[in-house]
Amino acid sequence: MKEENISKIINFNGEENFSYNPVSVPIYETSIFSFDDYDSLKKALSHEEKSHIYTRGYNPTIEVLEKKVAALEFAESAKLFSSGIAAISAATMAFLKCGDSVVCVKDCYGWTKALFGEYLQRFGIETIFVDGENTGEVFDSVKDNTKLIYLESPTSFTFKIQNIKEITSFAKKRNIKTVIDNSWATPIFQNPIKMGVDIVVHSASKYIGGHSDVVAGIVVGSRNDIDHIFKTEFLNIGAIPGPFEAWLLLRGLRTLPIRMERHMKSTQKIISFLLNCPQVEEVIYPYYESHPQYELAKKQMSGGSGLLSIRLKTTDENKIRDFTDTLKFFKKAVSWGGYESLIIPCIATNPVNEKSAIIRMHIGLEDPELLTEDLARAFKKIN
């Protein structure tokens, strides 16, 4: 999207609805809205999906955020949830029933994998996990009862890319819904709806919030699909965010484009440093010329974010501990997408397996020189 249009969406889209011309969107900290008379109450109750009745449905602060994220994703509508995984669960369960089958990428976010691989099995919904890099394997896994294809491009920890256009054109012909997790690239670098995807989900706890102070999720799609999700999983399960969380996200959104630009610039510098480190076996990041899927990455995305993995030459836990503990400017923490740099060695979360040598890093907004010096010091320790 052109920078001019992104600015219009971020700064001039929804603010005009409030009295006194506030520059910052007011926080409507109210659970209910009252009506002047019986007729207006009756009218609102018959259009719950568009009326201010109760904050479990609609709230003016939340609405501004939904409007902006929908516009950034070229979608008609959006709904905010209390977490990314709540958004993912609602967006998928709303279109599934007992006896249906799902095709899902294998290296998706951990709780997404648990949702399809364990939770939904209890309700008679079967999932076939695929690598995703190989479009043919995705097609071969589709059966007569397949109702949904779930993508995450790039995937978690391994950053594998799916060919979004090929998959959506196949799915459309068979009336299969496609859902994609776009948290990594953000709407600044990737717009899946333009590539034919039906529904986009985000963990807004990551880049949209951007300051590691809020947990939330958002679903965007056509008005029909979002209304359907609203009337089913959203109202029933009730994983709603508060108006204050929406306000924090609005504040984060104001700087999303410049943050993403900085994350990308710093990450490119750090990757060129990492590629010359003898302790590093492989740098895993799709938006860099050394990645085998770089050509496809360039077609689908206009940039890369700050999250990457490296595969070390060692799986010795003592060495990985030394490396991690020597770093002064990378915080040891889960999640990502904030202003700060983070590190998480896979060996700390997994039993020993093929991912044990992988270390995931988030490159924050600090001076990249500071970060490379820090990394150089830590690599020296494990020579």
Residues in touch with ligand PLP (CB under 6 A): 83-85, 109, 152, 156, 181, 183, 203, 205-206, 215, 217, 335
Task: Judge whether 272 and 308 are in contact, CB under 8 Å.
Answer: no
The nearest distance, CB 85 to ligand PLP, in angstroms, is 4
What DSSP state is assigned to residue 54? Answer: B
212 phi/psi in degrees, rounded to 5: 50, 40
Nearer to ligand PLP by C-beta: 61 or 182?
Answer: 182
The nearest distance, CB 205 to ligand PLP, in angstroms, is 4
Nearer to ligand PLP by C-beta: 147 or 360?
Answer: 360
Distance CA 74, CA 193 (A): 7
The nearest distance, CB 362 to ligand PLP, in angstroms, is 10
Nearer to ligand PLP by C-beta: 273 or 339?
Answer: 339
Task: Count Cα neighbours of 69 within 13 Å in the Cβ-side half-sphere.
Answer: 33
Report the residue count for the chain: 383
The CA-atom distances, in angstroms, between 336 and each of 109, 156, 274, 301 are 13, 11, 20, 20
Amino acid at 73: E
Residue whose beta carbon is closest to ligand PLP: 84
Task: Judge whether 152 and 105 are in contact, CB under 8 Å.
Answer: yes
The nearest distance, CB 334 to ligand PLP, in angstroms, is 8
The closest alpha carbon to 218, from 263, 249, 258, 251, belongs to: 249
The nearest distance, CB 98 to ligand PLP, in angstroms, is 25
Task: Judge whether 183 and 216 are in contact, CB under 8 Å.
Answer: no
Nearer to ligand PLP by C-beta: 113 or 291?
Answer: 113
Amino acid at 253: L
Nearer to ligand PLP by C-beta: 204 or 327?
Answer: 204
Exposure pattern of 256-284 as b/e (b: 16+ CB <10 Å)?
Answer: bbebbebbbebbbebbebbeeeebbebbb
Nearer to ligand PLP by C-beta: 73 or 181?
Answer: 181
Nearer to ligand PLP by C-beta: 268 or 335?
Answer: 335
Distance CA 146, CA 244 (A): 39
The nearest distance, CB 155 to ligand PLP, in angstroms, is 8
65 phi/psi in degrees, rounded to 5: -60, -45
The nearest distance, CB 201 to ligand PLP, in angstroms, is 7
The closest alpha carbon to 105, from 135, 139, 130, belongs to: 130
Nearer to ligand PLP by C-beta: 60 or 306?
Answer: 306
The nearest distance, CB 228 to ligand PLP, in angstroms, is 21
